[in-house]
Amino acid sequence: MSPPSGNGADKSLGEIVSEVSEKASLLVREEIDLAKAEVTTKAKTLAKGAGVAAAAGVFLIFAVVMLLFTLAFIINDLIDSQLVWPGFAIVMLMLIALGAVAGLLAKRWLSTGAPTPDLAIEEAKITRQTFEQQGVERDQLERSRELSGKQDETA
């Protein structure tokens, strides 16, 4: 923002209002751009994390399948059964219990909601408060000018 020039008092009210309007419009556009950038950054980070998690999940699925077969055969050996199904049934029950716990954890973590542009929202609140404060000061200035104008007329 440039410092006021010597002929700043010579500007008409229309020019001043136009300038303030342009600057307010620019400020709002910049606030929107900040919000977009913030959400984009957060979304990119979430997408990277989801991609890596998916790759890890694929590898772990194959490893877990092998582990579960091994566990089922070990349980069969421990209970000394000639049938294969008791070991696999026990492993299935364990998987159901683990799935329920994982589902509850996922529900809790995913219920935090979508990413929000917290910094942009905070900046917009500050801007709004500043505009409201300046509006009050401008109203007070206009009233004082009106009063001084009326006093000049009566004198």
pLDDT tens profile 107-150: 888 887 777 788 888 888 888 888 777 776 777 777 777 777 66
Predicted model pTM: 0.39
Q: What is the mean pLDDT of residues 76-90?
A: 88
Q: Which of 5-9, 14-18, 36-40 has the lowest mean pLDDT?
A: 5-9
Q: Tokens representing 74?
A: 């070990």
Looking at the predicted structure, is the pLDDT value of residue 60 above 90?
A: yes
> Which of 14, 15, 24, 146 has its CA nearest to residue 5?
15
Check residue 7 and give its pLDDT: 54
Q: Which of 47-56, 97-106, 140-149 has the lowest mean pLDDT?
A: 140-149
Confidence of residue 1 (pLDDT cuts 50, 70, 90): very low
Gap between the Cα atoms of 87 and 57, Å rounded: 25
Three-state SS sequence of 92-113: HHHHHHHHHHHHHHHHHHHCCC
Check residue 27 and give its pLDDT: 87
